[in-house]
Structure 1
Amino acid sequence: MKVIFNADDFGLTPGVNKGIIKAHQQGVVQSTTMMVGMDAERHAIELAKQNPNLNVGVHLRFTTGIPLTGHPNLTRGQTQFVSYDELWKIQDFEEEVVYQEAVAQVEAFLKLGLPLSHLDSHHHAHTHPLLLPVIRKVAQKYKVPLRGSGLCHIENSVKYYFTAEFYDQGVSLEG
């Protein structure tokens, strides 16, 4: 059995980026997932290129930041994506719109010059029952694994565990 420690939110802030790189250099983190279109994206790319053994995937955003496609179905009339709580209440995502946004984020990542290792999503949004089938198609299109590919809160056979017990306990976005 192989255990992989993946660090989410690469590209969110310089502090998050530095923390991920430090954990990688100390042998704790083998992979990370990038939030394309966020403020510290360029900083993250520079660090990733300096650390070629770090596998980098895309941390698809559906609950943070501005959609790359700008489609109003993803923002519910605002400029930013809906919140995590709002996302789980939505029952009418347009599959094609979700697909286009996910592909836009992957394509934006590929233009940055790094190989794509895998996909996952911020706040595990891809485990939403309406998003998961679409994001699986995106993973298949790019021939990469989808981390945590079961539906949230539903029993599945995937051996995947997420913990947020440490969340917000003495940790800041800037270290």
Structure 2
Amino acid sequence: MKRATPHSTESQPGPSWIVNADDFGMNESVNAAIVQAFHEGWIDSASIMPNQEGFEHACELTLPARLAGRLGVHITLDDGEPLSLPIRSCHRFCDAAGRFHTRRLRRAWRLSASERNVLLQEIICQIQTCQAAGIDPMHLDSHHHYHTSWPVGDVVIEAAQRCRVSMVRINGNLSASSSMATRAFKHFYNRRLRHANLARSDEMGSVPNLLSRRMRLRGVIEVAVHPVPGPGGQLWDAEANRPLADVVSSLIPDRLERVAADKGPSAAKVSRW
């Protein structure tokens, strides 16, 4: 796959890395942590959640933090309220109060025509909400990877094409413990993205999966991190439950060297996994 990957600046032979922070817009503390991670050089891009309480605050931070061209939309279909009206009365997606179900959609293998239509409206609405706030999203992904279910992925591709978003996160494809059926599903899902010229990377996986295969990785590799405030002003990764510096530098030693050069020797005090 030949696709430009902005802000992947590691110079060593081998993979080219995209470190993306998910959950920008979740709340003000997460927003502050993500902006700090940008400033310190640990991350390359972030994905914003337009239906969460911290969205407006995140938008206010983008200009002074110089984040133009480094943001995507973190499509949210299982938390909070939808941004469009039709989907709120669709029981496939929402409860009686019009709020998203929690993780129910992951089990869906097929959507009716009406369900697909309201889902497309909602995803486009989330993208356009970001655009109206002055954010020109360069990629799409989703909260809890909902966009990687087969019927949702089809809708996300159409939304990306309609809204002129150039990249979509692939389905994580590095887990050695996945069944043959799961690996086949991910292969065909990612092939569909590549056929549409939307795949953001060649590989994508969790930090443990990436660490176990780091010496064999090639091409463009995306890793998602979840920065939050930690003790003593230190950034923490909420999913790995470790300092963000440990997570990123364990995968990308050159990133640690770059941060240390910018911040001084104290930045090099990290622990290896």
TM-score bin, normalised by smaller chain: 0.7 to 0.9
Counterpart residue number, 1:10: 24
1:89 equivalent in structure 2: 107
- Measured in 1, the distance between the counterparts of 2:39 and 2:99 equals 34
Partner of 2:137: 116
The match for 1:57 among 72, 77, 99 is 72
Q: 2:61 aligns with which of 34, 42, 47?
A: 47
Alignment-mate amino acid for residue 130 of structure 2: F
Deviation at 1:169, TM superposition (A): 3.5
Return closer, same or farther for 1:162/1:138 CA change in 2, 3 Å cut-off.
farther
| Residue 204 (structure 2) pairs with residue 160 (structure 1) | yes
Whether the 8 Å contact between 1:132 and 1:149 is mirrored in structure 2 is: no
Q: Partners of 2:29 and 2:40 in 1: how far apart?
A: 16
TM-score (norm 1): 0.85
**Aligned in 2, Cα 1:166/1:42: closer, same or farther, shift over 3 Å?**
closer
Deviates more, 1:38-47 or 1:154-163: 154-163
Distance in structure 1 (CA, Å) of the matches to 2:238 and 2:55? 24
Residue 8 (structure 1) shift: 0.7
The structure with the greater share of residues assigned to helix is 2
Instruction: Give the root-mean-square deviation of aligned CA atoms.
Output: 2.5
User: Are the counterparts in 1 of residues 140 and 165 from structure 2 also a CA contact under 8 Å?
Assistant: no
TM-score, structure 2 normalization: 0.56
| Number of aligned residue pairs | 170
- How far 1:88 sits from its partner (Å)? 1.9
1:66 equivalent in structure 2: 81
Runs of 5+ unmatched residues, structure 2? 1-14, 191-201, 208-224, 226-236, 244-273
**1:37 offset after TM fit, Å?**
2.3
CA distance in 1, matches of 2:95, 2:167: 30
* Unmatched 5+ stretches in structure 1: none
Higher strand share: 2
What is the percentage of aligned positions where both structures have the same residue? 27
1:83 to partner: Cα distance: 0.5
| SS of equivalent to 2:204 | coil
Match for residue 80 of structure 1? 99
State whether structure 2 residue 39 is matched by structure 1 residue 25: yes
Q: Which has the larger radius of gyration?
A: 2
